[in-house]
């Protein structure tokens, strides 16, 4: 990954789109072939991300001869626990260099596709439109893992015609939303016109093209951004409680190198915290799973990667904020400046939470990340669901959260509940909840969360 005297880091990307467009399947399709073939230099699962090395991309993109890949690979941000959401609305989106917007060719643009596009435009993130499920065109002949142009040439006139008008429909819809798009291999002006890559996540047509386009477009348009530098750029994705490791934070290391023993400054709900990295962890590759322990320990890690950090004092770290390395030479003034920066960031998060739609009488919602919280509240407020929300918070459920939720006991008893997603309930909080009559509902999808809550309402009315 050396270009002149530049060293490049991996391109970071995320996958967005309407529910059922095929986001999960697409990532599966990229991963599976690799696992089945048992290739070396293969894809590895990282913390909150999937690492796709350049060797693998070259292997799959073999039919496209003569292209020069400069980046060392792709880091695809996973959206763990986001299964029930239309998109990853989290601030994590802005850490991506490039996004993939998945559109179901049979459905065209849908509500959440349009929302994702608006957010990407807002944040000025480049994207590639994937026109997925081409195998559902009537009479499609499977050409497993073929480049899409070849696969299309193999189809009957009828299939080609159906593809043509469906493509035109999507291009028109995108135009109505303010985006010029074109089939990637016809796209001469890719700096202004967005690419469309048709794919099937079932039989793999177009997947080589997608992998290739992600690296080619990113290296053509954002060389500066992809240049490795020795300054740490790092975003907190999630805070976790591990029974063996204690509190850990999952981060995406966007640039720079993290070392065991580094002093880092992290934004928490109790203000900025400076702490020491006690351990840097990544999962073992699949084939090394028999090795003792789930995680591999590292002395240092180089961007871009998904990393689990073990350190004290991070229980209240705020997902979506950045982690800063405090150098031994940093004088106090500078550290203060960094704390200031973090305080401002925290201010933003709190402000954003208070902007979420809440009302006087309603349930209390708690989640691990801002993106999830936002999506849950949106879902609860949606017409078919109609569960009002009175308050919310991030991170583990504490006594004070139960106390806040218990305010409803006097106003509207059935709303004296905490809907908890992907967060731990602290033992004292649990005790207080059962004593005071606050119901804590936990689930691993938003839909189950709402179902369990409705069950609770039904039972409390009986």
Shortest approach of Mg ion to residue 14 CB, angstroms?
Answer: 13
Q: Which does 304 bind (CB under 5 to 8 A by kind): Mg ion, ligand GDP, none?
A: none
Select 24 or 442, whichever has its Cβ closest to Mg ion. Answer: 24
Count CB-CB contacts under 10 A for residue 38: 9
CB closer to ligand GDP, 201 vs 323: 201
If we measure between CA atoms, which residue out of 278, 314, 311, 312 comes closest to residue 297? 278
Nearest residue to ligand GDP, by Cβ distance, number only: 22
Answer with the entry of Mg ion, ligand GDP, none that 411 interacts with (C-beta below 5 to 8 A by kind).
none
Residue placing its CB nearer to ligand GDP in the complex, 83 or 361: 83
Three-class secondary structure of residue 234 per DSSP: strand
Task: Tell me which DSSP letter residue 413 carries.
Answer: G
Site of interaction with ligand GDP (CB under 6 A): 17, 19-25, 132-133, 135-136, 200-202
Which residues contribute to the site for Mg ion (CB under 5 A)?
23-24
- Of ligand GDP, Mg ion, none, which one does residue 48 interact with (CB within 5 to 8 Å by kind)? none
Q: Given the complex with ligand GDP, which of 113 and 406 has the nearer CB atom?
A: 113
Three-state DSSP state, 359: coil
Shorter beta-carbon distance to Mg ion: residue 28 or 345: 28
CB < 8 Å & 24+ apart, contacts of 445-453: 445/83, 445/84, 446/84, 446/85, 446/375, 446/376, 446/379, 446/421, 447/84, 449/376, 449/419, 449/421, 450/379, 450/380, 450/385, 450/387, 453/363, 453/387, 453/417, 453/419
Q: How far is the CB of 131 from Mg ion (least distance, A)?
A: 17
Cβ atoms of 247 and 314 closer than 8 Å: yes
Of ligand GDP, Mg ion, none, which one does residue 272 interact with (CB within 5 to 8 Å by kind)? none
Q: How far is the CB of 164 from ligand GDP (least distance, A)?
A: 19
**Residue 81 or 388 having the CB closest to ligand GDP:** 81
Position closest to Mg ion via CB: 24
Q: Can you name the residues that pair with 459 across neighbouring β-strands?
A: none
Angle among Cα 144, 149, 151 to the nearest 5 degrees reads 30
Q: How far is the CB of 202 from ligand GDP (least distance, A)?
A: 4
Residue 17 interaction partner, one of ligand GDP, Mg ion, none, beta carbon < 5-8 Å per kind? ligand GDP
The residue among 79 and 390 lying less far from Mg ion, judged by its C-beta, is 79
Q: Which does 201 bind (CB under 5 to 8 A by kind): Mg ion, ligand GDP, none?
A: ligand GDP
Distance in Å, CB of 137 to ligand GDP, minimum? 10
- Token look-up 């936990």 returns 442
The interface partner of residue 200, options being Mg ion, ligand GDP, none and the CB cut-off 5 to 8 Å by kind, is ligand GDP
Return the closest-CA partner of residue 11 out of 58, 72, 102, 56. 72
Q: Is-contact 254 34, C-beta < 8 A?
A: no
HEC states along 102-129?
Answer: EEECCCCCCHHHHHHHHHHHHHCCEEEE
């Amino acid at each position: 990954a050396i270009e002149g005297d530049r060293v490049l880091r991996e391109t970071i990307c995320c996958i967005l789109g309407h529910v059922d467009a095929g986001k999960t399947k697409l990532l599966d399709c990229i991963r599976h072939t690799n696992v089945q073939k048992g290739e070396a230099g293969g894809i590895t699962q990282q913390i909150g991300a999937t690492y796709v090395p350049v060797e693998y991309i070259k292997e799959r993109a073999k039919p496209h001869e003569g292209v020069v890949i400069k980046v060392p690979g792709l880091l695809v941000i996973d959206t763990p626990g986001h299964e029930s959401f239309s998109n990853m609305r989290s601030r994590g989106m802005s850490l991506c260099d490039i996004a993939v917007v998945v559109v179901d060719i049979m459905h065209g643009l849908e509500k959440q596709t349009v929302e994702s596009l608006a957010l990407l435009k807002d944040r000025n993130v480049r994207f590639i439109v994937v026109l997925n499920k081409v195998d559902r065109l009537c009479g499609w002949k499977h050409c497993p893992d073929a480049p899409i142009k070849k696969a299309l040439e193999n189809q009957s006139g009828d299939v080609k015609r159906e593809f043509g008008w469906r493509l035109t429909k999507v291009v028109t819809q995108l135009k109505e939303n303010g985006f010029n798009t074109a089939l990637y291999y016809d796209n001469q002006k890719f700096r202004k016109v967005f690419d469309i890559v048709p794919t099937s996540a079932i039989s793999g047509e177009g997947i080589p093209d997608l992998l290739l386009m992600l690296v080619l477009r990113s290296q053509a348009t954002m060389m500066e951004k992809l240049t490795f530098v020795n300054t740490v750029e790092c975003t907190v994705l999630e805070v976790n409680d591990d029974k063996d490791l204690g509190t850990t934070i999952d981060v995406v290391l966007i640039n720079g190198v993290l070392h065991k023993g580094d002093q880092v400054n992290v934004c928490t709900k109790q203000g900025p915290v400076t702490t020491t990295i006690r351990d840097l962890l990544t999962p073992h590759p699949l084939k090394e799973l028999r090795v003792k322990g789930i995680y591999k320990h590292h002395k240092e890690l180089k961007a871009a990667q998904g990393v689990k950090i073990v350190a004290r004092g991070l229980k209240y770290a705020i997902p979506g904020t950045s982690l800063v390395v405090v150098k031994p030479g940093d004088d106090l003034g500078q550290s203060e400046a960094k704390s200031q920066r973090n305080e401002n960031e925290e201010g933003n998060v709190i402000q954003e939470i208070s902007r979420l739609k809440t009302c006087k009488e309603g349930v209390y919602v708690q989640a691990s990340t801002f993106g999830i919280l936002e999506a849950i509240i949106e879902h609860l407020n949606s017409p078919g669901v109609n569960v009002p929300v009175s308050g919310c918070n991030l991170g583990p459920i504490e006594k004070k959260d139960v106390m806040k939720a218990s305010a409803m006991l006097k106003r509207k008893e059935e709303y004296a509940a905490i809907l908890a997603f992907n967060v731990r309930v602290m033992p004292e909080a649990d005790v207080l909840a059962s004593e005071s009559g606050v119901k804590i509902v936990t689930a691993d999808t938003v839909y189950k969360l709402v179902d369990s809550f409705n069950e609770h309402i039904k039972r409390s009315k009986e």
